[in-house]
């Protein structure tokens, strides 16, 4: 049952599941461009043993959680999805078999209006992230996808889906360890050049990306080996910079923990700079507010013991949080006391910095 703490609380809507479709559910809220901020799109993966499972896309309304407004079966499980902000009703879907498809949900048709599979320029591995990227008022939106096949691909949509690779990701050799004086650490632990480890594969698997809000050509890519690369649409063969993952202990600025279960997903609240939500494999949904407490969540909800939560999404313009899990259900929550109305971006940044400073122990030089 829901448990409210601090100044925040949950109101729980009935769970949503299309005929108890077995799989993981995830989604994003429909933009307000067509006047329906209560619509949620969810993608599902069917778990099977020994063979690839199918998938499903479903549109849900918080006004009627008994049955989806529309659903369409996909040949493979759904790995990612994103709503177009400018073209109302267009939903991009990335699938586990590498297919990228676009659906027009206004038509309520089971088939996509355009799609590209392996034989027509699609990815060889799952399309882990698809996103409509704004390119300015004159150029509109571009559909971009990324996959563990090493490709970051932009799709032209004027005549079907036509791919152009923005980048083919390559592995970057890690920097060799050094001694205290900066001298390279040799194979035996002494000085001398260390032999680099050979790569089994030269390409790097892409998992996620995000474009800069200030420079539409610049974007960051996250890879499965833990590296982050700064890329540009102007250069398809080289990185602007690379940031390696941690090879040893790292000190967190702040840590939040109420149990020992795996944290499967987390997201910042779009209407409160100091609040974020997280879901766990133990079935918990938690909302934290750094300004209130870093020791206990502001609100928490415990789902059924056999329903591990795997993903979550905030509504961008409403105080709603949705979470999906392995049982195929989506739980929707109305947040009370979390959203902050009328706060400017500058004030939000100042409030977040103040909350971090108030809860961070500053080290004394020499101490």
**Mean pLDDT across 312-323:** 86
Both tokens assigned to 164:
């152009």
The pLDDT score that the predictor gives to residue 341 is 81
Sequence-distant (≥ 6) Cβ neighbours of residue 111 within 8 angstroms = 72
User: 186 pLDDT band (50/70/90 cuts)?
Assistant: low
Residues 259 and 241 in one domain: no
Residues 227 and 95 in one domain: yes
Q: Is the pLDDT of residue 100 over 90?
A: yes
Both tokens assigned to 186:
């040799």
pLDDT tens, position by position, 293-315: 999 999 998 876 667 888 888 88
To which residue do tokens 């909302």 refer?
A: 287
In a domain, residue 139? The reply is yes
Both tokens assigned to 22:
């077995």
Distance separating alpha carbons of residues 63 and 338, to the nearest angstrom: 22
Residues 129 and 275 in one domain: no
Residues 149 and 290 in one domain: no
Sheet with 2-4: list strands edge to edge: 2-4, 299-302, 284-289, 275-280, 263-268
Closest CA to 47 of 76, 67, 27: 76
Closest CA to 167 of 244, 238, 95, 242: 238
pLDDT tens, position by position, 225-254: 888 999 999 988 889 999 887 655 556 677
Cβ-count burial 116-144 (b if 16+ within 10 Å, e if not): bbeeebbbebbbbbbbbbeeeeeeebbbb
Residues 6 and 120 in one domain: no
User: 5 pLDDT band (50/70/90 cuts)?
Assistant: very low
Asked which of 189, 223, 246 is the last residue of a domain, the reply is: 246
In a domain, residue 29? The reply is no
- Please state which of the ranges 87-91, 124-128, 133-137, 229-233 shows the lowest mean pLDDT: 133-137
The pLDDT score that the predictor gives to residue 199 is 53
In a domain, residue 185? The reply is no
Report the helix count and the strand count for the chain, using DSSP H and E.
Answer: 1, 25
Q: Give ∠ CA 323-224-79 in degrees, rounded to 5.
A: 40
In a domain, residue 103? The reply is yes
Q: Which range marks the domain in which residue 101 is found? A: 76-173+201-246
Residues 229 and 350 in one domain: no
To which residue do tokens 């941690």 refer?
A: 246
Distance separating alpha carbons of residues 147 and 207, to the nearest angstrom: 6
Residues 118 and 158 in one domain: yes
Cβ count within 10 A of residue 192: 12
In a domain, residue 284? The reply is yes
Distance separating alpha carbons of residues 283 and 339, to the nearest angstrom: 24
Cβ count within 10 A of residue 39: 22
Both tokens assigned to 247:
């090879």
Residues 120 and 262 in one domain: no
User: 205 pLDDT band (50/70/90 cuts)?
Assistant: very high
Indicate the SS3 state at residue 62.
Answer: coil
In a domain, residue 326? The reply is yes
In a domain, residue 218? The reply is yes
**Mean pLDDT across 77-102:** 91
pTM of the model: 0.80
Distance separating alpha carbons of residues 357 and 353, to the nearest angstrom: 6
Q: Is the pLDDT of residue 330 over 90?
A: no
Distance separating alpha carbons of residues 204 and 242, to the nearest angstrom: 13
Residues 299 and 329 in one domain: yes
Domain count, the chain: 2
In a domain, residue 36? The reply is no
Residue 31 · residue 85 · CB < 8 Å:
yes
Distances (CA, A) of 60 to 33, 157, 267: 17, 26, 21
CATH, residue 242: 2.130.10.10
Asked which of 189, 216, 246 is the last residue of a domain, the reply is: 246
pLDDT tens, position by position, 31-86: 333 445 678 888 888 765 555 678 889 888 888 888 888 999 998 999 999 999 88
Closest CA to 340 of 367, 319, 358: 319
Asked which of 184, 215, 246 is the last residue of a domain, the reply is: 246
Residues 100 and 156 in one domain: yes
User: 359 pLDDT band (50/70/90 cuts)?
Assistant: confident
Q: Can you say how many angstroms the Cα of residue 63 is from the centroid of all Cα atoms in its chain?
A: 26
Residues 151 and 268 in one domain: no
The pLDDT score that the predictor gives to residue 32 is 35
DSSP E strands, 224-329:
228-232, 241-243, 263-268, 275-280, 284-289, 299-302, 309-314, 320-325
Q: Is the pLDDT of residue 28 over 50?
A: no
Residues 230 and 317 in one domain: no
């Amino acid at each position: 049952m829901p448990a409210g703490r601090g100044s925040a609380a949950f109101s729980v809507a009935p769970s949503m599941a299309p005929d108890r479709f077995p799989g993981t559910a995830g989604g994003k809220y429909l933009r307000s461009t067509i006047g329906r901020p209560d619509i949620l799109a969810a993608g599902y993966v069917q778990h099977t043993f020994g063979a690839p499972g199918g998938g499903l896309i479903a549109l849900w309304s918080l006004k009627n959680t008994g049955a989806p407004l529309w659903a369409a079966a996909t040949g493979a499980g759904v790995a990612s999805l994103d709503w177009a902000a400018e073209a109302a009703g267009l939903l991009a879907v990335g699938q586990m078999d590498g297919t990228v498809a676009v659906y027009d949900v206004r038509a309520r048709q089971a088939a996509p209006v355009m799609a590209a599979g392996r034989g027509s320029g699609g990815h060889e591995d799952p399309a882990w992230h698809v996103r409509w990227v704004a390119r300015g008022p004159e150029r509109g939106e571009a559909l971009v996808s990324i996959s563990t096949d090493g490709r970051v691909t932009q799709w032209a949509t004027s005549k079907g889906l036509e791919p152009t690779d923005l980048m083919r990701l390559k592995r970057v050799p890690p920097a060799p360890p050094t001694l205290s004086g900066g001298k390279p650490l040799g194979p035996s632990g002494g000085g001398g050049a260390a032999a680099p480890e050979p790569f089994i594969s030269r390409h790097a698997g892409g998992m996620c990306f995000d474009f800069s809000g200030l420079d539409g050509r610049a974007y960051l890519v996250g890879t499965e080996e833990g590296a982050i690369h700064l890329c540009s649409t102007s250069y398809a063969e080289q990185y602007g910079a690379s940031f390696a993952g941690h090879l040893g202990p790292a000190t967190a600025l702040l840590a939040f923990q109420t149990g020992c279960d795996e944290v499967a997903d987390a997201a910042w609240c779009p209407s409160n700079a100091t609040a974020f939500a997280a879901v766990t494999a133990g079935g918990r949904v938690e909302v934290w507010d750094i300004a209130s407490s870093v020791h206990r969540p502001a609100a928490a909800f415990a789902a059924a013991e056999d329903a591990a939560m795997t993903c979550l999404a905030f509504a961008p313009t409403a105080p709603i949080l949705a979470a999906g899990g392995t049982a195929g259900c989506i739980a929707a929550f109305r947040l009370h006391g979390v959203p902050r109305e009328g706060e400017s971006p500058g004030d939000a940044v100042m409030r977040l910095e103040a909350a971090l400073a108030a809860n961070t122990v500053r080290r004394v030089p020499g101490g």
